[in-house]
């Protein structure tokens, strides 16, 4: 697995919430039996016109996002289908980090990213960063005002630094296990196989036909 | 303090606690289909790894398969290659496969319960988000990505952070023509599409207890549409009757069944168990639900007008405007005034025998409207055979509906069953996302009765009034 430690790149904004994995990579591309070739098809229905040409109106196609590698978007990104192809498509389309806001609804905290999407991203060395709505709004404003705005995302320090004159820094939280996995880039099957004797011992008394 | 159903199952499956607070969790059943598995098998092949417990791994074809008479001959070469890859992988890795043409082939979440693979107290995973369906039996069942599919194949475990618990209580009883589909859509509308994220839902209350297993599965199925990790219902007599009431290939029998029943009866949440969150919904006040937008939380009562940017709670102006534009709707419109093009009765949400009986009851002695194409797609070949034994297929055909073979079909249109751009569909499936049923297609999610009545009327009707007027 690819390790993630620190990344500097151009920010691109997608002002939509609840972006689902059907939109990120539509069904017709799930027929592939390979892990590669998904990049040009990320956001397919938004990206191309019916005749197959590039849709210049699609917000991520704005010229100022040329060379972007950090996607900044809204709440509940990656919801819906469990398809890991969504993460493969984004990674192969050049995104290394995705930033989205957690939100408060009815007094409860609602995560920025859908659970399965977050796990899939981590397994592919892609960092997802959860910030507050205010912080994400500030990033949207600065991206709007500065063509080709860059940011540095430092996983070790758990912070996002916008490359603006008065230096804006946001700290983020991340589960320690997820952070460790991303920084090490180790294959998690290899990691689990270190505990193979525990699994074998567990199986001696566990009946998987009844789950007891 | 007492334990919840979820905690009881979780604790029984922890192989090892990790220092960071996550746990290595044992998996009892791994269900595999053709779309999310090929890269996992390929990864194993590269690393020279084998499946740890092939006898706990079960496979079928559902997403890609055609549902027409000539289904054995898959014309799309890419779909065919994917189906053939699964056949090859199952042979090479010694996995049981219910192949196209087998009497037990069908949507993975329909055949698991049907064959007794889904049982209370188990951990069940599949590379498919609607794995939450199996939670209706009091199993902990959730969807995973392809990297995790490979991890389970090799280790029979998953590294998981323990989700939080969320109690959803449906009080009272639903009124006539209100189904579990309406209950779960109402919940998603209330909770939002991310409201359940990081949580395992437990559905309880009088309204849930009164439901059949089929209806319970429809509720648990859509847990993921509220963002939840899983959804569960405590096993009870209804559950035991479903498992033991007829021949189910993998269900325990005799002495094994006695032991199993004792265990299953110990599973329901203790009286004093505490949940991290709670939501109470009065089932008696739920009206027929229909989605108007591009996610399952964008839902209204059938007698409400389509909302606008200022009246759709919980969504930004941009989100509502995008959804309305995509759906070709304007605020204030009554969905009962909007003509439909397609009606789809099927999917892992609503394609079980009860769903088909409900639809057949509406179609009986009636014809579909001229403006709609109607697809009735049973969830499994077993459901198809059962429906044919009951003569339901004749009712569908006489009404002008197409009676198909089992598969995911137009729920996601990976096979040839797709909406054309701008076609409007009443669908018993689970997702009204943009492009889900076909590029540019407009999906409205409803119950099987609402879908069948819409097919007859050619537009949505309020099923409660419509039935009265007949």
pLDDT digits (tens, 9 = 90+) for A50-78: 899 999 999 999 999 999 999 999 999 99
Contacts with A87 from chain B: Cβ below 8 Å: 145
pLDDT of A211:
67
Mean pLDDT score, B373-392: 98
pLDDT of B355:
98
> CA-to-CA distance for A161 and A8, rounded, in angstroms?
9
Name the residue of chain B whose CA is nearest to A188's CA.
B151
The two three-digit tokens of residue A203, written as one number: 């199986």
Residue among A99, A65, A199, A12 at smallest CA distance from B155: A199
Q: What is the number of CB-based contacts under 8 A between chain A and chain B?
A: 222
- How many Cα atoms within 13 Å fall on the side-chain side of residue B138? 30
Beta strands in B129-205 (DSSP E): 140-143, 157-160, 164-171, 199-204
Q: What are the backbone dihedrals phi and psi of residue B332, each rounded to the nearest 5 degrees, phi first?
A: 95, -15
Q: H/E element holding B60?
A: strand B57-60
A23 and B CB contact within 8 Å: yes
Residue B379: CB partners within 8 Å, gap ≥ 6? Answer: B106, B107, B109, B110, B346, B347, B348, B351, B352, B406
The two three-digit tokens of residue B201, written as one number: 């839902």
Name the residue of chain A whose CA is nearest to B228's CA.
A115
Measure CB to CB from residue A175 to each of B38, B63, B161 and give the nearest one. B161
Residue B394: CB partners within 8 Å, gap ≥ 6? Answer: none
**CB-CB contact of B127 with B143 (8 Å):** yes
Burial readout A182-197 (b: 16 or more C-beta within 10 A, e: otherwise): beeeebbbebbeebee
Measure CB to CB from residue A202 to each of B26, B129, B277 and give the nearest one. B26
Mean pLDDT score, B236-262: 95
> CA-to-CA distance for B43 and A187, rounded, in angstroms?
11
SS3 B178: coil
Residue among B327, B331, B295, B328 at smallest CA distance from B314: B295
Measure CB to CB from residue B198 to each of A79, A115, A124 and give the nearest one. A115
**CB-CB contact of A12 with A68 (8 Å):** yes
**CB-CB contact of B403 with B430 (8 Å):** no
B243-to-A209, B131, B137, B232, B264 alpha-carbon distances in Å: 14, 18, 9, 16, 12
A200 and B CB contact within 8 Å: no
Mean pLDDT score, B24-28: 98
The two three-digit tokens of residue B70, written as one number: 């000539």
Q: Are A33 and B295 within 8 A, CB to CB?
A: no
Q: Are A114 and B260 within 8 A, CB to CB?
A: no
Q: What ipTM was assigned to the predicted interfaces of this complex?
A: 0.96
Q: Are A198 and B82 within 8 A, CB to CB?
A: no
Q: H/E element holding A131?
A: strand A127-131
Q: Are A111 and B227 within 8 A, CB to CB?
A: yes
Beta strands in B308-372 (DSSP E): 342-345
pLDDT digits (tens, 9 = 90+) for A177-204: 999 999 999 989 999 999 999 999 999 9
Residue among B230, B169, B222 at smallest CA distance from B201: B230
> CA-to-CA distance for B294 and B442, rounded, in angstroms?
8
- Is the model's pLDDT at A145 over the cut of 80? yes
A138 exposed, middle or buried (CB, 10 Å; 0-12, 13-18, 19+)? Answer: middle
A210 and B CB contact within 8 Å: yes
The answer to whether the predicted template modeling score (pTM) of the entire model surpasses 0.90 is yes
Q: How confident is the model at residue B314 (pLDDT cuts 50, 70, 90)?
A: confident
Q: How far is B144 from chain A (nearest CA, A)?
A: 6
Sheet holding B157-160, edge to edge: B14-17, B23-26, B157-160
pLDDT of B228:
98
Q: Are B154 and A87 within 8 A, CB to CB?
A: no
Q: Which of residues 53-112 of A touch B (CB under 8 A)?
A: 74-76, 79-85, 87, 103, 105-106, 108, 110-111
Number of other CB atoms surrounding residue B401 within 10 Å:
24
Estimate to the nearest angstrom the gap between the alpha carbon of B160 and the chain centroid. Answer: 23
What DSSP designation does B389 have? H
Number of other CB atoms surrounding residue B308 within 10 Å:
16
pLDDT of A105:
81
User: How much of chain B, in percent, has pLDDT values that exceed 70?
Assistant: 100
A211 and B CB contact within 8 Å: yes
Helix segments in B160-225, DSSP class H: 180-191, 206-209, 213-221
Contacts with B251 from chain A: Cβ below 8 Å: none
A47 and B CB contact within 8 Å: no
B124-to-A83, A210, B45, B120, B409 alpha-carbon distances in Å: 17, 12, 24, 10, 24
Tell me what the pLDDT averaged over chain B comes to: 97
Q: How confident is the model at residue A106 (pLDDT cuts 50, 70, 90)?
A: confident
Estimate to the nearest angstrom the gap between the alpha carbon of B467 and the chain centroid. Answer: 27
**CB-CB contact of B224 with B132 (8 Å):** yes
Q: Which of residues 137-166 of A touch B (CB under 8 A)?
A: none
- Is the model's pLDDT at B19 over the cut of 90? no
Measure CB to CB from residue A105 to each of B154, B192, B322 and give the nearest one. B192
Q: Are B159 and A27 within 8 A, CB to CB?
A: no
CA-based torsion, A179, A182, A183, A187: positive or negative: positive
pLDDT of B110:
98
Name the residue of chain A whose CA is nearest to B29's CA.
A208
pLDDT of A176:
92
Number of other CB atoms surrounding residue B397 within 10 Å:
13
Beta-bridged to residue B148, according to DSSP, are none
Contacts with B197 from chain A: Cβ below 8 Å: 76, 110-111, 114-115
What DSSP designation does A29 have? G
Mean pLDDT score, B22-51: 97
- Is the model's pLDDT at A212 over the cut of 90? no
Beta-bridged to residue A12, according to DSSP, are A71
Q: Are A31 and B277 within 8 A, CB to CB?
A: no
Burial readout B253-291 (b: 16 or more C-beta within 10 A, e: otherwise): eeeebeebbebbeebbbeeebebebebebebeebbbbbb
Q: Are B145 and A198 within 8 A, CB to CB?
A: no
B469-to-B304, B366, B447, B464 alpha-carbon distances in Å: 20, 14, 20, 9
């Amino acid at each position: 697995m690819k390790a993630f430690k620190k990344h500097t790149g151009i920010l691109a904004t997608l002002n939509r919430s609840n972006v689902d994995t059907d939109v990120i990579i539509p069904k017709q591309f799930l027929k592939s039996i390979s892990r590669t070739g998904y990049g040009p098809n990320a956001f397919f229905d938004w990206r191309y016109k019916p005749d197959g040409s590039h849709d210049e109106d699609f917000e991520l196609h704005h010229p100022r996002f040329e060379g972007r590698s950090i996607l900044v978007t809204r709440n509940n990104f990656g919801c819906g289908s469990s398809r890991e192809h969504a993460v493969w498509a984004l990674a192969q389309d050049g995104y290394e980090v995705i930033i989205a806001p957690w939100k408060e609804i009815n007094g409860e905290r609602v995560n920025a990213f859908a659970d399965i999407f977050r796990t899939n991203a981590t397994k592919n060395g892609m960092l997802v960063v959860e910030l507050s709505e205010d912080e994400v709004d500030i990033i949207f404003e600065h991206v709007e005002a500065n063509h080709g705005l860059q940011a540095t995302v430092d996983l070790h320090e758990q912070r996002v630094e916008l490359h603006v004159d008065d230096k804006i820094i946001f700290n983020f939280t991340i589960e320690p296990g997820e952070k460790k996995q991303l920084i090490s880039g180790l294959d998690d099957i290899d990691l689990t196989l270190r505990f193979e004797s525990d699994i074998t011992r567990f199986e001696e008394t566990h009946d998987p036909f009844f789950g007891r | 303090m007492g334990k919840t159903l979820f905690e009881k199952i979780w604790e029984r499956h922890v192989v090892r606690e990790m220092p960071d607070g996550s746990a290595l969790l044992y998996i009892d059943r791994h269900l595999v289909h053709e779309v999310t598995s090929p890269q996992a098998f390929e990864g194993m092949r590269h690393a020279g790894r084998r499946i740890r417990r092939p006898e706990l791994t079960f496979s079928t074809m559902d997403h890609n398969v055609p549902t027409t008479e000539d289904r054995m001959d898959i014309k799309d070469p890419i779909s065919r290659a994917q189906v053939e890859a699964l056949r090859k992988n199952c042979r090479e890795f010694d996995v049981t496969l219910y192949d196209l043409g087998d009497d037990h082939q069908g949507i993975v979440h329909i055949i698991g319960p049907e064959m007794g693979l889904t049982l209370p107290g188990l951990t069940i995973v599949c590379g498919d988000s609607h794995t939450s369906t199996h939670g209706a039996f009091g199993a902990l069942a959730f969807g995973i990505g392809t990297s995790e599919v490979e991890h389970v194949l090799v280790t029979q475990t998953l590294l998981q952070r323990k989700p939080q618990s969320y109690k959803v209580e449906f009080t009272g009883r639903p009124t006539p023509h209100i189904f579990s589909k309406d209950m779960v859509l109402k919940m998603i509308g209330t909770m939002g599409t991310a409201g359940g994220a990081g949580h395992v839902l437990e559905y309880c209350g009088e309204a849930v207890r009164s439901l059949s297993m089929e209806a319970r599965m429809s509720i648990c199925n859509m847990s993921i549409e509220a963002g939840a990790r899983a959804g569960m219902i405590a096993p009870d007599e209804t559950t035991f009757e479903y498992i033991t009431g007829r021949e189910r290939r993998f269900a325990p029998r005799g002495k094994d069944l006695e032991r199993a029943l004792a265990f299953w009866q110990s599973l329901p949440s203790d009286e004093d168990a505490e949940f991290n969150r709670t939501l109470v919904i009065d089932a008696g006040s739920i009206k027929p639900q229909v989605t108007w937008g591009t996610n399952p939380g964008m839902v209204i009562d059938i007698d409400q007008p389509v909302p606008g940017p200022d009246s759709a709670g919980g969504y930004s102006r941009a989100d509502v405007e995008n959804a309305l534009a995509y759906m070709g709707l304007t605020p204030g419109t009554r969905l009962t005034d909007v003509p439909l093009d397609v009606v789809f009765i099927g999917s892992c949400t609503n394609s079980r025998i009860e769903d088909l009986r409900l639809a057949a009851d509406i179609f009986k002695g009636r014809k579909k409207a001229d403006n709609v194409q109607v697809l009735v797609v049973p969830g499994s070949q077993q459901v198809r055979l059962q429906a044919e034994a009951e003569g339901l297929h004749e009712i569908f055909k006489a009404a002008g509906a197409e009676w198909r073979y089992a598969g995911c079909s137009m729920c996601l249109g990976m096979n040839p069953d797709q909406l054309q751009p701008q076609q409007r569909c009443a669908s018993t499936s689970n997702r009204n996302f943009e492009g889900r049923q076909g590029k540019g297609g407009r999906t409205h999610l409803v119950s099987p009765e609402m879908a069948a009545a819409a097919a007859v009327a050619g537009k949505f009707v309020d099923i409660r009034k419509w039935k009265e007027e007949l």
